[in-house]
């Protein structure tokens, strides 16, 4: 039990860091990027641009209020408690802190607990457990940016892939091959959509399915597709009724599917 509490607490600290990073980068994208320009430049220029975003992971070194720029004291930075204690407001200027700060701390806490549970059930090597947590954490930054700005910078997908490639080498070489095919397919589609100036399907979503393959193997792909579609449909319907919006950032549903998929295996549920 104590292990689960430690994992949850570690998750909240990391979640706080990941969320702050994602919010800083989202801010840069929203305010300094011309998305039309961004969509027209070549892939490599885009990637170079995104690499420069990585400095915002560690800048500013000490967290500060995004609004009044006052440096936060250590006791303003305790996951969950600080948010509740300050009632979701900056200690200095009383600006409302977006709910997603608290949300990310709790969610990443639960992700760490779940992954630890899978680790004990499936009994895979410790290094795999750490690398999967690393990949999911990097990907989480991309997902929050997606929620904020409707785009996932490729750099967070590429960084998330690296630990997963390591896990699949050499035994999961077929997964890597399949993943490469998915990636090439995504880039060709990206190119076609640029030429036609139309978006039929989210390119990054295709790559996220590729990441699911790297974690769970090729046989999981139909089930992951199915679960993410069901989750997507539920959220889509909910938002349609409540807010009458059509936007669907599908990335988050694929991410949720990746997090909960092992539960199906543990409870012996087979969808097909």
Whether the Cβ atoms of residue 150 and residue 249 lie closer than 8 Å to each other: yes
102 or 155: CB nearest Zn ion: 102
Three-state SS at 6: helix
* Cα–Cα distance measured from residue 52 to residue 46, given in angstroms and rounded to the nearest whole number: 10
61 or 126: CB nearest Zn ion: 61
Q: Give the range of 32-40, 62-70, 116-124, 196-204 binding Zn ion by CB under 5 A.
A: 62-70
9 or 27: CB nearest Zn ion: 27
Q: Give the range of 57-65, 107-115, 210-218, 243-251 binding Zn ion by CB under 5 A.
A: 57-65
* Cα–Cα distance measured from residue 39 to residue 77, given in angstroms and rounded to the nearest whole number: 36
Segment 87-126, which members bind Zn ion (CB under 5 A)?
90, 92-93, 95
The least CB distance from residue 167 to Zn ion, in Å, is 41
Tokens of 38: 């961004």
Backbone angles phi, psi at 70, to 5 degrees: -65, 140
The least CB distance from residue 166 to Zn ion, in Å, is 41
- Helix and strand numbers, DSSP H then E, in the chain: 11, 0
The least CB distance from residue 90 to Zn ion, in Å, is 3
53 or 65: CB nearest Zn ion: 65
Whether the Cβ atoms of residue 247 and residue 229 lie closer than 8 Å to each other: no
Neighbours of 7 (CB within 10 A): 21
Burial (CB count within 10 angstroms: exposed 0-12, middle 13-18, buried 19+), residue 196: exposed
In sequence order, what DSSP letters do the residues of 183-203 get, joined into one string? HHHHHHHHHHHHHHT--SS-H
The least CB distance from residue 101 to Zn ion, in Å, is 13
* Binding pattern for the stretch 143-172 against Zn ion, x by CB under 5 A and - elsewhere: ------------------------------
31 or 197: CB nearest Zn ion: 31
67 or 177: CB nearest Zn ion: 67
Contact residue for Zn ion among 35, 40, 55, 67 (CB under 5 A): 67
Whether the Cβ atoms of residue 120 and residue 20 lie closer than 8 Å to each other: no
The least CB distance from residue 71 to Zn ion, in Å, is 10
Residues at the interface with Zn ion (CB under 5 A): 65, 67-68, 90, 92-93, 95
């Amino acid at each position: 039990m104590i292990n689960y509490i430690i994992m949850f607490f570690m998750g909240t600290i990391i979640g706080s860091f990941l969320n702050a990073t994602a919010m800083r980068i989202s801010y840069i994208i929203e305010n300094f990027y011309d998305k039309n320009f961004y969509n027209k430049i070549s892939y490599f220029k885009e990637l170079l641009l995104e690499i420069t975003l990585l400095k915002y992971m560690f800048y500013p070194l000490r967290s500060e209020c995004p609004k009044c720029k006052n440096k936060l004291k250590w006791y303003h930075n305790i996951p969950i408690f600080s948010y509740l204690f300050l009632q979701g407001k900056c200690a200095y200027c009383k600006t409302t802190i977006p709910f997603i700060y608290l949300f990310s701390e709790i969610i990443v806490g639960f992700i760490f607990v779940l992954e630890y549970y899978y680790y004990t059930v499936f009994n895979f090597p410790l290094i795999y457990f750490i690398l999967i947590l690393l990949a999911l954490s990097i990907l989480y930054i991309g997902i929050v940016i997606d929620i904020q700005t409707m785009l996932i910078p490729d750099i967070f997908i590429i960084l998330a892939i690296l630990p997963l490639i390591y896990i699949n080498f050499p035994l999961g070489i077929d997964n890597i091959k399949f993943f490469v095919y998915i990636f090439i397919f995504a880039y060709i589609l990206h190119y076609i959509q640029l030429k036609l100036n139309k978006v039929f399907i989210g390119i990054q979503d295709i790559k996220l399915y590729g990441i699911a393959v790297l974690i769970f193997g090729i046989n999981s792909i139909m089930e992951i597709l199915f679960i993410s579609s069901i989750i997507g449909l539920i959220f889509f319907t909910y938002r349609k009724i409540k807010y009458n919006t059509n936007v669907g950032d599908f990335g988050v549903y694929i991410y949720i599917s990746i997090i909960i998929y092992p539960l199906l295996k543990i409870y012996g549920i087979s969808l097909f």
